[in-house]
Amino acid sequence: MAEVKLGSRNIAYNMVAMSFLSSVFFKGYHVWIKRDRICQYADSLLKTQYLSPEAMAELRRKKLGELLCQAVTAVPYYRERFSGDPERLRKDPDLSQFGLLDKSIIRANYEALQHRDIAAMGAEKNSTSGSTGESLFFLISRKQHWMCDAEYFRSYSWIGTTPLVPQGTLWGARFDNLPETGFKGFMRDHFKPFYFFSSYDLTEEKLELICRTIREKKLEVFTSYPSPLEHLAKFVKTRGYNFPSLKGIITSSEQLFPYQREMFGQVFGCPVFNRYGSREFGFIAHECEKHEGLHISAEHVWVEILNDALQPCKPGEIGDLYITDLDNYAMPFIRYRIGDRASWKGIDCSCGRSLPLLEQIDGRSFELVRDRSGHAVSGTFWTLVTRFVAPEIIAFQLHQKTLDEAELLLVSPQKLSGPQEKLLQEKIVEKLPDLQISIRYVDEIPLTRSGKKRFVTSDLER
Ligand SMILES: [Zn+2]
């Protein structure tokens, strides 16, 4: 029997979650009507998060071994590339024997990457447009889908609440906007008060509506991309509103900057929980109540952070994220380069959970700006340098056209002064000596098709 550690506060968090999980409504719906295993998985995740590090490592090693063994026996793409004994992989899983995966490889091998028994796995087609606007289609198994939902439920216990409380979302992805109909819509309307607001439409009237909804419906959780939330927070601040019902703000899908976290905490009067996920994997990492980093969903994903030489990064060293999904046998994602960069925290969280911590997610790798001589900076740089030189800048976007030329779009109440512009150019030249930057003032920064704000866009090949 694996060791389970529970402190008094952890028990309190679990009681909230357990009372939710054991409710007649929830279990009845999932166990008897939908006949899924989400309750079972969520129940298990609430326990496994407190496994000892050794027991957690053993659980993960077993899941990885099973996945790799399945991949090389039942998935043509991997079977063609592996000549050893599959059973050896089950006992001693070694990811270094597997090549890396990216979007172009998946597109080129869509059929060959499918497990021979996808029908039995209840595989569903899914897609991501990513931030490049280029679609990627893939399959996810029923088990992976259930596991993602279970991770979602666990994350609410970390906020000290449940997914059934009144909550709001300020979001832009069109796929996520569709209203649910039929029985599911009825259940959501009557048992899960959920209010959706579009990040495409942020007039004062809509901002006022969001504030009124949070106050009158007593919303406990509010989820958003950081950039529209910053817009809302500035509005709330000018009106002097406060929202005593809010227990947590969840941010996701864009980089959350420290100044934004501070602003959201002050304006909304509750803690901010950063979340990292993707359509391919669902939940990858989430903050707990201690806010010491993002706990990876260790029972569900195997995360590697590799440097340019494809060697594992040390704690604090930023590298590219490669994810292996431990639950999706339908189309195994093994060592998939997701396109984001991150670093390991390197120490355990004081909450006692044995889920390793990411220190930070540092922009997307396509947000790196490069020059011809090989210098490169990530998206964070542009936020810091523009705020340093001219705090009055409202918004910006760096558009890299070539290795020699980029344009900085600025939204600002007035043009930068001569000394400010000179200082800005100097700071950029320090990092990117061979890149010519021109400045253009605009009224607003265009959003991506999914309504997100990108700090950096690039015409360069990835
Ligand atoms: Zn923690």
Can you tell me the distance from the alpha carbon of 277 to that of 258, in angstroms, rounded to the nearest whole number?
19
DSSP per-residue codes, 360-422: EEEEEGGG-EE-TTS-EE-HHHHHHHHHHH-TT--EEEEEE-SSSEEEEEEE-SSPPPHHHHH
Cβ atoms of residues 233 and 279 within 8 Å = no
Instruction: Quickly tell me which residue has 């810091």 as its tokens.
Output: 384
| Residue from 147, 161, 187 nearest 25 by CA | 187
* Ligand 1 centroid – CA 156 distance (Å): 13
CA distance to 228, 425, 455, per residue, from 409 (Å): 18, 14, 10
Report CA(423)–ligand 1 centroid distance (Å): 41
Q: Exposure of 100 by Cβ count < 10 A (0-12 exposed, 13-18 middle, 19+ buried)?
A: middle
Task: Quote the DSSP letter at residue 28.
Answer: I
Fold of 368-458: Alpha-Beta Plaits (3.30.70)
- Cα 382 to ligand 1 centre (Å): 30
Q: Where are the domains of the chain?
A: 368-458
Distance 234 CA to ligand 1 centre (A): 30
Residue 400 CA to ligand 1 centre (angstroms) = 38
Task: Give me the pLDDT at residue 191, please.
Answer: 59
> 109 C-alpha vs ligand 1 centroid, how far in Å?
38
User: Cα of 226 to ligand 1 centre, how many Å?
Assistant: 22
Contact predicate 246/219, CB 8 Å: yes
Q: Which residue, chain included where needed, has tokens 């905490």?
A: 265
Ligand 1 centroid to Cα of residue 355, in Å, is: 8
Alpha carbon of 24 to ligand 1 centroid (Å): 30
Taking the centre of ligand 1 as the mean of its atom positions, its distance from the CA of residue 286, in whole angstroms, is: 9
Going 61 to 65 to 63 to 111, the CA torsion angle's sign is positive
> Separation of 288 CA from ligand 1 center, angstroms?
5
Q: For residue 170, how far is its CA from the centre of ligand 1 (angstroms)?
A: 26
The total number of residues written for the chain in this structure: 462
Q: How far is the CA of 87 from the centre of ligand 1 (A)?
A: 35
**How many Å apart are CA 236 and CA 230, to the nearest integer?**
10
Q: Which residues of 301-338 are buried (b: 16+ CB within 10 A; e: fewer)?
A: bbbbbbeeeeeebeeeebbbbbbbbbbbbbbbbbbbbb
How remote is the CA of residue 413 from the centroid of ligand 1, in Å? 41
Termini Cα distance of the chain: 47
Q: Tell me, in angstroms, the distance from the centre of ligand 1 to residue 281's CA.
A: 21
Q: What is the pLDDT of residue 271?
A: 97
CB-based contacts of 40: which residues, under 8 Å, 6+ apart? none
Q: How far is the CA of 148 from the centre of ligand 1 (A)?
A: 19
Please give the pLDDT value at position 59.
97
How confident is the model at residue 37, as a pLDDT?
A: 81
CA of 377 to the centre of ligand 1 (A): 30
How far is Cα 299 from Cα 312, in angstroms, rounded to an integer? 20
DSSP character at residue 37: S
Specify the pLDDT at position 380.
61
d(CA 97, CA 94): 6
Give residue 3's pLDDT.
33
Q: Mean pLDDT, 10 residues at a time, over the chain (462 residues)?
A: 36 51 65 77 94 96 97 96 90 93 91 94 79 70 92 94 88 53 62 77 85 94 88 93 96 86 97 93 94 97 95 94 96 93 94 95 66 75 80 85 93 91 91 92 79 75 58
- Do 325 and 332 form a contact (C-beta atoms < 8 A)? yes
State which residues have CB under 5 angstroms from ligand 1, the bound ion. 288, 290, 349, 351
| 32 DSSP 8-state letter | I
Token output for 288: 């707990």
> Of 310, 312, 306, 305, which is closest to residue 358 (Cα–Cα)?
305
Q: What phi and psi values does residue 271 have, to the nearest 5 degrees?
A: -70, 155
Q: Which residues pair with 301 in a beta bridge?
A: 325
Cβ–Cβ contacts within 10 Å for residue 418, how many? 8
| Confidence (pLDDT) at 457 | 85
pLDDT of 20 reads 57
